Amino acid sequence: MSTFLELGLREEISKALTDLGYENPTVIQEKAIPQVIASSQDLKAFAQTGTGKTAAFSLPILEQIDENSKETQAIILSPTRELAVQIGKNIQEFAKYLKGVKVTTVYGGANIDEQIRSLKKGSQIVVGTPGRTVDLIKRRALKLGSIRWVVLDEADEMLNMGFKDELDKVLDATPVEKQTLLFSATFPREVESIARNYMDNPIEITSGEKNKGSDDVSHEFYVVNERTRYEALKRIADVNTDIYAIVFCRTRRETQEVANNLIKDGYSADALHGDLSQGQRDGVMDKFRKKSIQILVATDVAARGLDVTELTHVINHKLPDQIENYTHRSGRTGRAGKKGISVVLVNGKEKGKLRSIERIIKKKFVQANVPSGKEICQNQLMHLIDKVQNVEVNTKQIEEFLPSIYDKLEGLDREELIQKFVSLEFNNFLAYYENAKDLNDLSSSRGDRESRDSGGRGRPRDENMTRFFINLGRKDDLNPARLIGLINDQRITDNIEIGAIDILDTFSFFELDKNFEGQTLSAFEENDPEFNGRGVNIEITKKERSGGGRGRGGERGGRRSSSSRSSDGGGFGRKRNDSGSSPRRSSSSDRKPRAGGDRPDRGSADKQSGGFGRRRRER
Ligand code: AMP
């Protein structure tokens, strides 16, 4: 692996990258940077989202830019204002130690006079959305006669959004002699046609298979129905105690509704879509980046430029209309070397789309079960206990209050005290989930009706499968993809069929072809594998089917297991949930829906140009 200096970048740039925490170039950077520095040949680069493509095109430009000239030498076009702003910000950070370099970002929905003033001062690099860029060219505020580089970022998306004319106009305003760089995460036919029309014998580089999803993302689906879709979303949020996620919706109305419901139910959530003003959108994005909201509910277009490296989940509340957009969505997680999970909620009818997506991303979806109330309570409780274990006690600040507190609690023994404080924090959750139903839409999933009751975890959903318990869970960083990897590593037999997987906090279940039951047990025993430094144990779960939901699901191998905590009905809950709304404390419920019609979000400019179906135009 090379260093940034070895790729041909100067000390000042390398230092700025070190400040940003970039230790080594990513694959696409390793390929693009020396190429663009050494040659002025046009370049088509296919990079998965989150692979560092912004730096891949901007660093070699910065390396070669003439700081002494104030002419605009590079124009970077991006489909959305959020993405443009993000790119502009990134370039400014990369150019931190290049004192003479100025970057201006231009986009619709913001004061054009300010942008004109900034351009007049002289910017070597201009980042813009197509509509506003054309506008500024017409007003003669942006002159492209000295352009040396044109970058088309996410060109497929620019075409999708109806910017073909604008692209023509911008490219027409540039000199013939220039280098055109086309960076895109997906590679539909339209991108080929851009390359044909605008590029001269481009060299092609890729940081992986075209359109393929990131290797750091695992893909899960949950089968739900329309009545349970939102409830399932809440359960996924509840079981993942540290969730930091984008929930994708198809339309602005759906986005606003889901966000309003989550807010009303006490989740730390907000909406991002094209009906919001630029100021509102900036505010929401800022809060999300700072993690003062955990769940961002967004349309595809609105979330496009959002660069957050630590998302735990991307949740497809509804699949996108164009399945190619799934790659963009799931690429929001698993960025910069971090692992992420892309979750899809599908009803029976939508399930077919998953196969087409699998062909595009070249990965398999793993079916997951909507968590049961007990699993959620267990996870939340353990999370609470972890927090108690780790909280720092500031004796100095609390000592003056302690004697009277000790006095008051004197009559309680240790157990009572623990029970009371857990109840205080937790009664809402316990009550809410006490009689929680199984939300998996079993009518459309593998014909398994038996696991409708809460005892379903103890046995396989398919009689050709054997259900195994494994002593690893989320706490060990286990996810479906890693579990499949672990199973495959045992070389039980070629292509063994793997069925449903349930990952819980501290343990999990998986199903394997019944014919290899014995071989599976002996393979794990002989190999004695370790996972994240932990010894791995598997056992066959108890198979007989007994009636009733309560007090029976969690036995495996003849002894009472910890799984009974998650599957028997008589665990935590005592009170009925009277509120019927949410286990989370409600924060602000007074926000009103801001959405307009129920239509796919094609950017805020739709509204200005007369609505759905019309060409997108930024002003
Ligand atoms: P991009 O594909 O340009 O949207 O980048 C995805 C994320 O990876 C951004 O948060 C970048 O800041 C980060 N990133 C890009 N290049 C590197 C690198 N060489 N090392 C670490 N992080 C990087």
The string of DSSP codes covering 324-371 is THHHHHHTTSS-TT--EEEEEEE-TTTHHHHHHHHHHHT---EE-PPP
Predicted confidence at residue 48, as pLDDT, reads: 64
Predicted confidence at residue 421, as pLDDT, reads: 82
Task: Determine if ligand 1 sits within 6 Å of the CB of residue 26.
Answer: yes
| Adjacent-strand bridge partners of 140 | none
Task: Determine if ligand 1 sits within 6 Å of the CB of residue 577.
Answer: no
Predicted confidence at residue 371, as pLDDT, reads: 87
Mean pLDDT of 235-257: 91
Task: Determine if ligand 1 sits within 6 Å of the CB of residue 22.
Answer: yes
Q: Which amino acid type is present at position 151?
A: V
pLDDT (tens digit per residue) in 401-415: 999 999 988 888 888
Given a cut of 60, whether residue 123 has pLDDT beyond it is: yes
Mark residue 6 as left, alpha or beta (left: phi above 0; alpha: psi -120 to 50; beta: remaining). Answer: alpha
| Adjacent-strand bridge partners of 272 | 298
CA 530/CA 512 separation, integer angstroms: 20
| Residue bearing the bigger pLDDT, 352 or 54 | 54
Q: What domains can you pick out in the chain, each with its CATH number?
A: 11-207 (3.40.50.300), 374-432 (no CATH), 463-562 (3.30.70.330)
Predicted confidence at residue 605, as pLDDT, reads: 33
| Residue bearing the bigger pLDDT, 447 or 222 | 222
**308 Cα nearest atom in ligand 1:** 10
Task: Determine if ligand 1 sits within 6 Å of the CB of residue 52.
Answer: yes
pLDDT band at 80 (very low <50, low <70, confident <90, very high): confident
Report pTM: 0.52
- Count H helices and E strands in the chain, helices first: 23, 22
For residue 174, the SS3 value is coil
CA 65/CA 63 separation, integer angstroms: 6
Predicted confidence at residue 66, as pLDDT, reads: 96
**307 Cα nearest atom in ligand 1:** 10
Which spans in 391-497 are helix H? 395-398, 402-408, 414-433, 480-489
User: 5 C-alpha to center of ligand 1: Å?
Assistant: 17
Task: Determine if ligand 1 sits within 6 Å of the CB of residue 88.
Answer: no
Answer whether 183's CB lies under 8 Å from 56's CB. yes
Given a cut of 80, whether residue 445 has pLDDT beyond it is: no
Mean pLDDT of 235-241: 90
> Poorest-confidence range of 75-84, 108-117, 494-503?
494-503
| Residue bearing the bigger pLDDT, 199 or 144 | 144
Predicted confidence at residue 126, as pLDDT, reads: 98
Given a cut of 90, whether residue 279 has pLDDT beyond it is: no
Mean pLDDT of 78-93: 91
Q: For residue 251, which of 596, 616, 598, 594 has the smallest C-alpha distance? A: 598
Predicted confidence at residue 274, as pLDDT, reads: 81
| Residue bearing the bigger pLDDT, 446 or 97 | 97
Given a cut of 90, whether residue 423 has pLDDT beyond it is: no
Task: Determine if ligand 1 sits within 6 Å of the CB of residue 214.
Answer: no
| Residue bearing the bigger pLDDT, 338 or 86 | 86
User: 27 C-alpha to center of ligand 1: Å?
Assistant: 11
Predicted confidence at residue 584, as pLDDT, reads: 57
